[in-house]
Amino acid sequence: MVINLILGDITKTKADAIVNAANTTLLGGGGVDGAIHRAGGITIVEECKKIIKKQGSCGVGESVITTAGNLPAKFVIHTVGPIWYGGTNNEDLLLTNAYKNCLQLAVENEVKKIAFPNISTGVYNFPKERAAKIAINSVLDFLNTSSILEEIIFVCFDKENYVIYENILNTK
Ligand code: AR6
């Protein structure tokens, strides 16, 4: 099992599954969510609508899985990270849940290679260093319990996040 770090666009990442930092409606938005829907095409939002019809919404920290449409992946795993309200709203636990629920869905769908964006660190404003520690620790904790996953890729869109991840991963 390896953890890799990329500076780039997750819609270009070849993996069994890529993770989307979505919102509770699953209907798309800006940031990485917008990029995934634009590049993946209409089939992704069509599946999201079916899921919403069935379950109402996707809660913060939860995740769902759909086709990846035209993306170079089999699946998109949509998760909803917490909005940062200063740290007193269970943000750390909710972000941990988001990563762990994605990994759980990945394993259930026999995903071997999964790529994550830096969930919640854009418009949801989660402090980047704090979010990176949670992302890496959640993945490492999960990997202790699962042998199916072979590769985890953290895809950083900005250099600041990339350097933060690089420094933390170097200490592990
Ligand atoms: N590839 C990889 N990472 C990206 C890409 C990309 N193409 N584009 C942006 N990022 P954000 P959030 C990075 O705002 O904070 C949406 O409108 C970005 O630099 O996309 O979880 C949803 O619908 C940042 O580091 O997601 C929600 O309403 C990271 O992705 C809301 O934003 C997350 O930034 C979710 O906010």
Find out whether the beta carbon of 41 lies less than 6 Å from any atom of ligand 1.
no
Find out whether the beta carbon of 61 lies less than 6 Å from any atom of ligand 1.
no
Q: Is 53 exposed, middle or buried (0-12, 13-18, 19+ CB in 10 A)?
A: exposed
What fold characterizes domain 2-170?
Leucine Aminopeptidase, subunit E; domain 1 (3.40.220)
| Whole-structure pTM value | 0.98
In whole angstroms, what is the distance from residue 44 CA to residue 97 CA?
A: 23
Residue range 56-99, pLDDT digits in tens: 999 999 999 999 999 999 999 999 999 999 999 999 999 999 99
Q: Which two tokens stand for residue 14?
A: 């070849």
Residue range 126-171, pLDDT digits in tens: 999 999 999 999 999 999 887 789 999 999 999 999 999 999 999 9
Does 16 qualify as catalytic in the annotation?
no
